[in-house]
Structure 1
Amino acid sequence: MKELVLVIGGIYGALAVVFGAFGAHALKKRFNEDQFKSFETGVKYQMFHALILIISGISFPFIGISQQLTAWFFILGTFFFSFSIYGLTLGSAFARKPRFLGPVTPLGGLFLILGWILFTINIAEIAVYL
């Protein structure tokens, strides 16, 4: 599990850089201001959660289910949140807005919140033993 979390954290980080550059250069002319801000939000959240995945991968032994759930909430939450924003903004910019993605974004946000709650609990438990 530890290796998976670190690898996905690295992949999410690299993709955040790629998507950020793509949005800033290739899509900026295509997006209106609101679309650009939304796309940037997806990139920022993806990078933040790439970093917390790497921190989790370094900090947790992933022995208990709670630590595994933390990682899965971050992995799935990032995917649902950021990638649905990418889909919505790209679809909107090209007049093909995929409406089914609308409810996916808040689900991703909920997973991210749950991930942060579990991260806080798990890291506090580890700190007690240090």
Structure 2
Amino acid sequence: MSRPTASSPLIPRAANVFPGPTLLWRTGAILAAAGIVAGAFGSHGLQKKSGITPEKLHAWQTASSYAIYNGLALLLVSLHPRFAVHRFAGPAIAAGSALFSGSIFTLVLAGERWKWLGPVTPIGGSIMIAGYIALAL
């Protein structure tokens, strides 16, 4: 299956609609790759860092998994004729995933210095959920 393009007859859209399928595809690929790299780092390098507890490792793996899942979801969304040009869903999934996973990664690595980021995690999760709900509507 080939990726939809702006000239594809399956995707009726204005010339300057943001985001486009290509941006969603690239964002999905970057999120998935970042999640894989973070997961590998969590499994091999993070354990050697002082102050890393089993709870922090679990949080790191959760953030890594969500980055991968949302990256794969964006890859799929970018292939869909209707949702690849949705103005809210893709950006919400991408931004929510970045806030959710990114805040957890930062909290695990920086600890108390960045504890004010704690509320960002559920905000990112809520934005992510809103993006998926927008796909369903």
Same fold flag (TM > 0.5): yes
Q: Where does the alignment leave 5 or more consecutive residues of structure 2 unmatched? A: 1-19
C-alpha distance in structure 1 between counterparts of 2:42 and 2:108, whole Å: 10
C-alpha contact (below 8 Å) 2:97/2:124 kept by paired residues: yes
Q: Given the alignment of the two structures, is residue 57 of structure 1 paired with residue 78 of structure 2, yes or no?
A: yes
Q: Given the alignment of the two structures, is residue 18 of structure 1 paired with residue 37 of structure 2, yes or no?
A: yes
Counterpart in the other structure of 1:127? none
Poorly superposed stretches of 4+, deviation over 6 Å: none
C-alpha distance in structure 1 between counterparts of 2:23 and 2:116, whole Å: 29
What is the Cα deviation at residue 91 of structure 1? Answer: 1.3
C-alpha distance in structure 1 between counterparts of 2:33 and 2:63, whole Å: 14
C-alpha distance in structure 2 between counterparts of 1:55 and 1:97, whole Å: 37
Of Structure 1 and Structure 2, which has the larger fraction of its residues in helix?
1
Larger Rg: 2
C-alpha distance in structure 1 between counterparts of 2:95 and 2:79, whole Å: 19
Residue correspondences, number: 116
Find 1:29's aligned residue among 32, 42, 48: 48
What is the TM-score of this pair, normalised by structure 2? Answer: 0.79
Counterpart in the other structure of 1:99? 115
What is the Cα deviation at residue 116 of structure 1? Answer: 1.1
Question: For residue 104 of structure 1, what is the amino acid of its counterpart?
Answer: V
Q: Where does the alignment leave 5 or more consecutive residues of structure 1 unmatched? A: 122-130
Find 2:59's aligned residue among 38, 41, 47: 38
C-alpha distance in structure 1 between counterparts of 2:91 and 2:81, whole Å: 13
C-alpha contact (below 8 Å) 1:70/1:114 kept by paired residues: yes
Give the direction of change, closer, same or farther, for the CA distance of 1:63–1:14 in structure 2 (3 Å limit): closer
C-alpha distance in structure 2 between counterparts of 1:49 and 1:37, whole Å: 18
C-alpha contact (below 8 Å) 2:77/2:84 kept by paired residues: no
Quick one: percent identity of the two aligned structures?
30
Counterpart in the other structure of 2:127? 111
Counterpart in the other structure of 2:68? 47
C-alpha contact (below 8 Å) 1:90/1:97 kept by paired residues: no
